[in-house]
Structure 1
Amino acid sequence: MIEQLDKEYVLQTYPRNYVNFKRGVNATLFDENEKDYIDFTSGIGVVSVGHGNESVAKKIYEQVSNITHISNLYAIEPQAKLGEKIAKLSKMDVATFFANSGAEANEGAIKLARKYGETKFDNKRYKVITLEHSFHGRTITTVRATGQEAMHTDNFSPYPDGFSYENEIANIYKSIDNETVAVMIELVQGEGGVQPLDKKEVQDLAKFLKEKDILLIIDEVQTGAYRTGEFLATNLYDIQPDIITMAKGLGGGVPIGAVITTHKDLFTYGDHGSTFGGNYLSTAASLEVLDILERTKDSGELDKTISYFENKIESLFQNNKEIFTSTVGIGLMKGLRVKDADTLASILKESFEQGVLLLRAGKNTLRMLPALTITNDEIDEGFKRLENALSKIAK
């Protein structure tokens, strides 16, 4: 039934597995037949505090029972408190614009950078340099900012100009000219293969850009909200960017995006806006999510979970070197390089049949983004099912 309805009434932009999930408990999902699945995807890094989280559900119910939305023409208490919370957890002097998604957040970051380039220099600066294999969104502008040639099809051209790509940080320096306004990078390339950047190279780049008054934009749509073990991967890399973007795990499943910047007075009235961005529902939910994650981090539970998960993935790699070539990633943003794309496709298909949900990244990376609250029992069961899947593929 659901497959028929989906194919008839929903635009087919995703190749779907037609399973009808009805409920979830932390990192476990149940379909309409009560078959359970261990979820190592968390909705592509979104359900950061797990499915069916009672305290988040309670907070959402309390909020929508009073006010869901009023618009940004009025002050919104949970929005202001969330801005304060983000500044505190980031350990930076920042202010935040709230949007509804990662793509919107990156659009806002690019607009902010372009206003900086227009108002801070005698000559107009508008060019943004990103890295090959990056992913920054699916709007026309963020597709162009994405450094994957496969994303730049003629179907959606012409694209906005002002974007260029380098294959590594060392080559960014030579691409900078007197029209360059910003460099935009992910500290761990998610869609590009769960590939962390080198910490020293990032720190050297940040220092150089600061000296040249060129903005550093860090896309933390996937790495933010404790995904790498710290509130921001920026904290892990010990840098001070000009602009940071967040989304995904920030709302625990409620859509929200954030443009966080040290340039607190650059945007003025009318420069940017969003009807839904930062409304009562999304910011109330996000405050509760961050409270949970902050407690989980401060108690040491998050670090223990990361260590336990890392040991499991390393053991899986060591026992299956005929399938995997290496492990990659940081925190609970992990991946396994697979020997070829066909084998990866087989793993994803068989794992689903065995009841464990996994993701693809790039051409040959098996990606895992579990809920940050996943239990050891759920981790054990998920890897057991993945081992079963691998054993069937090897036959």
Structure 2
Amino acid sequence: MLENIDKQYVMQTYARNYVNFKRGVNATLFDDTNKKYIDFTSGIGVVSVGHGNERVANKICEQVRNITHISNLFLIEPQALLGQKINELTGYDVATFFANSGAEANEGAIKIARKYGQTKFANKKYKIITLEHSFHGRTITTVKATGQAKFHSDFFAPYPDGFRFDPSLEAVYQAIDDETVAVMIELIQGEGGVSPFNKDDIQKLAKFLKEKEILLIVDEVQTGVYRSGEFLASQLYDIEPDIITLAKGLGGGVPIGAVLTKHKDILSAGDHGSTFGGNYLVTTAALEVLDILENYKNSGLLDEHLIYFDMKLKELRTKFSEIMLDTVGLGLMRGIKIKDDETLAKIVSNAFAEGVLVLKSGRSTLRFLPPLTITKDEIDEGFERLENALKKI
């Protein structure tokens, strides 16, 4: 019945699995038949502090009873405090613009880069280079910035010009010309196979771009907010980008995006805006999420659970080495390379039947994005269920 309603009244832009989840506790979900699932997806990296987190729920309820939204024409206390907190956690001197999603955050980053290119140089610079297998969003502009031709459908053309994607970091150097204003990368390509770049190569590129006064934009929509083990993956790579984008795990489930930049005065009043961005509801939730995760990191539990998850992942790969080729990723943004896409699809389907949620990624990769607060018991149960699924292939 519910499936029919969805198909009749909701645009069918997703290949849905029609399970009806009713409640969740940390990394555990229950559907309307009370069947239990271990969630290794966290809503594609969003539910960073777990399902049904009482601290976040209480803060949201408290805020909604007072003010949910008032618009950015007025001071928003939790927004200002969240900007301060982000500045503190990055260790960089940044100002933040708040949006509603990762795609919007990346749109904001592109606008900052374009204005920089217009105002910094005698001759306008506007071109932005991205990488093959990247993913930066679904808007007309961010989908063009995405380095996957399959997303550039003629149905939505023409796309904005000024974008190109290259097959490797090495190719970027040759692609830069007098009109290049920025290079936009993910340090770990989530949709592109959970593939981290080499640290030395990233540092070399960052140094080169700084010397050329070309901006480095790092899309941390998926890698940010402790997903890599640090607040930013950029911190793991020991680089300081000009612009960083965040979303997904920042709100713990409420929609929020953020653009962080060292060029704090580049945008003036009226250059950019958002009706909902950074309102009382989402920034209150995000402040609580960051407080939970900062303390979790400082306690040593996050690192302990990262190590434990890595161990279980490698054990699974060893047991099923005939179909599992290698483990990839960092922190709790992980993957296993599978021998082919057909086998990958069977694993995801069988895993669901066994009550464990996993994801597909590009280049035949089984992707894992569990809540950062996942417990060892939940990890054990999830891998036990996944092993049962693999035995049936």
Matched residues in 2 for 1:384 and 1:204: separation?
42
SS of 1:211's equivalent?
Answer: helix
* Corresponding residue of 2:123: 123
TM-score by length of 1: 0.99
* Corresponding residue of 2:273: 273
Q: Deviation of residue 146 (structure 1)?
A: 0.2
* Corresponding residue of 2:370: 370
Q: Deviation of residue 170 (structure 1)?
A: 1.0
SS of 1:334's equivalent?
Answer: strand
Q: Deviation of residue 363 (structure 1)?
A: 3.7
Matched residues in 2 for 1:204 and 1:369: separation?
29
* Corresponding residue of 1:243: 243
Letter in 2 for 1:201: D
Asked if 1:58 corresponds to 2:55, the answer is no
- Could you list the structure 1 runs, at least 4 aligned residues long, displaced by more than 2 angstroms after superposition: none
Q: Deviation of residue 138 (structure 1)?
A: 0.2
Matched residues in 2 for 1:271 and 1:360: separation?
38
Q: Which runs of 5+ in 2 are unaligned?
A: none
Asked if 1:206 corresponds to 2:184, the answer is no
* Corresponding residue of 2:75: 75
| 1:217-257 Cα shifts (integer Å, max 9, x gaps) | 00000000000000000111010100000000000000000
Q: Deviation of residue 81 (structure 1)?
A: 0.3
* Corresponding residue of 1:283: 283
Q: Percent identity?
A: 70
Matched residues in 2 for 1:153 and 1:16: separation?
21
| 1:157-199 Cα shifts (integer Å, max 9, x gaps) | 0000000111111110111000000000000000000000110
Q: Deviation of residue 289 (structure 1)?
A: 0.2
Matched residues in 2 for 1:5 and 1:307: separation?
43
* Corresponding residue of 2:104: 104
* Corresponding residue of 2:337: 337
Matched residues in 2 for 1:173 and 1:382: separation?
43
Matched residues in 2 for 1:295 and 1:323: separation?
39
Matched residues in 1 for 2:51 and 2:332: separation?
17
SS of 2:328's equivalent?
Answer: strand
Asked if 1:264 corresponds to 2:240, the answer is no
* Corresponding residue of 1:152: 152
* Corresponding residue of 2:181: 181
Q: Deviation of residue 262 (structure 1)?
A: 0.1
Matched residues in 1 for 2:206 and 2:392: separation?
47
Alignment of 1:293-304 (within 5 A): 293-304=293-304
Matched residues in 1 for 2:18 and 2:36: separation?
15
Asked if 1:392 corresponds to 2:392, the answer is yes
Matched residues in 2 for 1:265 and 1:254: separation?
28
SS of 1:275's equivalent?
Answer: coil
Alignment of 1:22-61 (within 5 A): 22-61=22-61
* Corresponding residue of 1:253: 253
SS of 1:191's equivalent?
Answer: coil
SS of 2:286's equivalent?
Answer: helix
Asked if 1:220 corresponds to 2:220, the answer is yes
RMSD: 0.4
Asked if 1:308 corresponds to 2:312, the answer is no
What is the aligned length? 393
Alignment of 1:160-171 (within 5 A): 160-171=160-171
SS of 2:74's equivalent?
Answer: coil
SS of 1:29's equivalent?
Answer: strand
Letter in 2 for 1:26: N
Q: Deviation of residue 2 (structure 1)?
A: 1.5
SS of 1:210's equivalent?
Answer: helix
Matched residues in 1 for 2:358 and 2:368: separation?
6
Q: Deviation of residue 360 (structure 1)?
A: 0.5
Q: Which runs of 5+ in 1 are unaligned?
A: none
Q: Deviation of residue 281 (structure 1)?
A: 0.2
| 1:262-316 Cα shifts (integer Å, max 9, x gaps) | 0000000000000000000000000000000000000000000000000000000
* Corresponding residue of 2:320: 320
Q: Deviation of residue 322 (structure 1)?
A: 0.5
SS of 1:192's equivalent?
Answer: coil
Letter in 2 for 1:262: K
Q: Deviation of residue 142 (structure 1)?
A: 0.2
TM-score by length of 2: 1.00
Matched residues in 2 for 1:111 and 1:162: separation?
12
Letter in 1 for 2:137: G
* Corresponding residue of 1:15: 15
